[in-house]
């Protein structure tokens, strides 16, 4: 009898531990992913459906982040190289916006022809009230970022632009998208402090370029916070990134066109690379470079809105911080490996930071110089 009691007690303890473990698994799945099925404490297997969905969500987020990294880093280096030779960044951005609007319109028409379903079209009051602030902030963010390439290096640009996470956190708390948590504020503060140490006492510091990028970071924080509110609002029907790009681009052109006319109107009209050309091949080459940059910009913005749709603006900004670090490493790799003049001891993380800001990029293998 005594042995039977011990066996029964041990079985009851093991069943209690199993129930507690299953309860923990259920709470973990509920926190990470909402499962539509009710939890049964008598079940002997954990909810595999919620676990599979959790893994799928994680892999999807990682894939979107990698996609965003590829297009964003690619267009950063491409624009840096192109702007150094074609000194009209605002005009280039306006061309990008027009091409992105055309591409998104073509994709919407193709979807309508293939499926027979009409894409969403917003009414004018909603279009003005909801998308005008997002579009104008986006235009100024992109325009000022491209303009800064004329003054500062890629390393200083990437590190300064990463301060966007501070502004995104501030606007997210202001608009109620994020709850005020001290742990979140501490993490963002540590990231900001690290970015400040990266750019502190930079030997190629340019005040004009720094202020342009800092203003772009502020506008980017406002831009992505407003965009999150629009994309994740189901009643507006802009959950598809193509629809969002299609509706935002006109406002971006409206926000950037006055600046382009004031600062670049006369120079672009008198340049030999566009209107006062001497050879048609020069104009076609310039248009080809602009078109290629437009396609890269469209793919980058598509990946940004996809990541924003499935996560949040704060997640996008944190991913952007690591993207900027990757961009700095790529810049360092180009400077030292492609010039074949670097010392491996200088490639250390902390030791290499000053050299990112000291040395211009030389793409000797391809004939490009930055």
Q: Which two tokens stand for residue 46?
A: 């954990």
Q: Which two tokens stand for residue 86?
A: 């074609």
- Look at residue 335 in the predicted model and tell me its pLDDT: 60
- Residue 343 φ then ψ, to 5°: -105, 130
Question: What 3-state class would DSSP assign to 363?
Answer: strand
Q: Which two tokens stand for residue 159?
A: 């590190």
- Look at residue 369 in the predicted model and tell me its pLDDT: 35
In whole angstroms, give the CA distance from residue 251 to residue 247.
8
Q: How far apart are the first and last CA of the chain?
A: 87
* Alpha helices, DSSP H, located in 232-279: 241-270
- Contacts of residue 17, defined as CB under 8 A and 6 or more positions apart, other chains included, come to none
Q: Which two tokens stand for residue 277?
A: 């050309």
- Look at residue 28 in the predicted model and tell me its pLDDT: 44
Contact between 35 and 29 (Cβ < 8 Å):
yes
- Contacts of residue 302, defined as CB under 8 A and 6 or more positions apart, other chains included, come to 241, 242, 245
Q: Is the pTM of this model over 0.85?
A: no
Of 156, 151, 148, 159, nearest to 203 by C-alpha is 156
- Look at residue 348 in the predicted model and tell me its pLDDT: 37
- Contacts of residue 152, defined as CB under 8 A and 6 or more positions apart, other chains included, come to 160, 204, 205, 206, 209, 210, 213
Q: What is the pLDDT along the chain (370 residues), one digit of tens a residue?
A: 444 444 444 444 444 444 454 454 444 444 444 444 454 544 444 456 667 777 877 888 888 888 888 888 888 888 888 888 888 888 888 999 999 999 999 999 998 899 888 888 888 888 888 899 998 998 888 888 878 878 887 777 777 777 788 888 888 888 887 777 887 778 777 876 776 676 565 556 778 888 898 899 899 889 888 888 888 787 787 878 888 899 999 999 998 898 888 888 888 888 877 787 788 888 888 899 999 999 999 999 888 888 877 777 777 777 776 776 777 677 676 664 444 433 433 333 333 333 333 433 433 332 333 3
DSSP state of 346: G
Spell out a b/e string for 238-272, using b for 16 or more CB atoms within 10 Å of the CB, else e: bebbbbbbbbbbbbbbebbbebbeebbeeebeebe
CA distances (Å), 100 to each of 141, 230, 294, 302, in order? 16, 19, 7, 10
- Residue 41 φ then ψ, to 5°: -65, -15
- Contacts of residue 207, defined as CB under 8 A and 6 or more positions apart, other chains included, come to none
């Amino acid at each position: 009898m005594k042995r039977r009691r011990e066996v029964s007690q041990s079985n009851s303890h093991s069943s209690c531990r199993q129930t507690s473990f299953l309860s923990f698994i259920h709470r973990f799945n509920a926190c990470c992913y909402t499962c539509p099925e009710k939890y049964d404490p008598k079940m002997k297997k954990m909810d595999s459906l919620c676990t599979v969905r959790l893994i799928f969500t994680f892999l999807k987020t990682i894939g979107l982040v990698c996609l965003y990294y590829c297009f964003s880093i690619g267009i950063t280096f491409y624009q840096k190289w192109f702007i150094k030779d074609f000194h009209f960044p605002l005009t280039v951005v306006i061309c990008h916006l027009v091409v992105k609007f055309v591409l998104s319109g073509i994709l919407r028409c193709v979807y309508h022809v293939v499926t027979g379903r009409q894409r969403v079209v917003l009414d004018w009051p909603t279009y003005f009230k909801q998308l005008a602030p997002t579009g104008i902030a986006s235009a100024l963010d992109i325009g000022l970022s491209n303009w800064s390439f004329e003054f500062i290096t890629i390393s200083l640009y990437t590190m300064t632009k990463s301060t966007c996470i501070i502004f995104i956190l501030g606007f997210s708390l202001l608009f109620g998208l994020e709850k005020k948590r001290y742990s979140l504020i501490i993490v963002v503060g540590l990231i900001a402090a690290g970015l400040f140490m990266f750019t502190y006492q930079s030997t190629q510091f340019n005040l004009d370029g720094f202020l342009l990028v800092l203003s772009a970071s502020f506008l980017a924080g406002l831009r992505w916070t407003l965009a999150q509110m629009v994309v994740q609002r189901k009643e507006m029907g802009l959950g598809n990134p193509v629809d969002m790009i299609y509706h935002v681009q006109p406002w971006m052109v409206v926000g950037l066109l006055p600046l382009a006319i004031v600062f670049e109107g006369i120079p672009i009209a008198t340049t030999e690379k566009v209107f006062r050309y001497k050879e048609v091949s020069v104009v076609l080459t310039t248009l080809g470079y602009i078109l290629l940059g437009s396609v890269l910009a469209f793919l980058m913005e598509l990946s940004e809105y996809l990541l924003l749709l499935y996560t949040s603006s704060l997640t996008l900004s944190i991913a952007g911080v690591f993207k900027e670090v990757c961009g700095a490493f790529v810049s360092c790799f180009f400077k030292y490996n492609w010039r074949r003049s670097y010392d491996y001891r200088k490639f250390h993380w902390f030791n290499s930071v000053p050299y990112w800001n000291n040395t211009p990029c030389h793409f000797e293998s391809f004939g490009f110089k930055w």
